Structure 1
């Protein structure tokens, strides 16, 4: 099998790394500083926080729904007052 040559027919020098070898070496190099591993997770505390966040979301959603219904009631009342007697 013939060896691969460079453009122009000149073969790669023996001390010059080939393109695919350079790409492999660059892929193996880390892209930045190596960070220490994260601290261990206390899943009990994590779950408590998650439950608290979900409960807060439920209360917030209920408060917003009540506020929206109250505003809608005001708008409907104002609309009805403006249209009384108009046909």
Structure 2
């Protein structure tokens, strides 16, 4: 048990040191590789009306349930 803790502790120290050294390099590379925006800048999208969204979702689910019931009835009629 003691050897496992020592190995994990030493691994953590090495990993932590190398991660800190790499972080600034990653940030610099991300800034250099980011493409410049092209074309016109668009305005933000309009806010979502979640009440309307939920009404539409309920309607779709009701239609799906009705369609499924109809298809089930047709399948049972064919079996008989």
Alignment TM-score, normalising by the size of structure 2: 0.51
1:50 aligns with 2:80: no
Show structure 2 runs of 5+ residues with no match. 1-27
Greater RCO (Cα-Cα under 8 Å, separation 6 or more): 1
Shift in alpha-carbon separation, 1:33–1:67, aligned structure 2, 3 A: farther
Q: Greater helix percent: which structure?
A: 2
* RMSD after superposition: 2.6
Number of residue pairs matched by the alignment = 53
Give runs of aligned pairs for residues 3-82 of structure 1, distance below 5 A.
24-30=31-37, 34-73=41-80
TM-score under structure 1 length normalisation: 0.48
> Structure 1 unaligned runs (5+)?
1-20, 74-87
The structure having more radius of gyration, on CA atoms, is 1
Structure 1 residues 25 and 63, CA gap change in structure 2 (3 angstroms): same
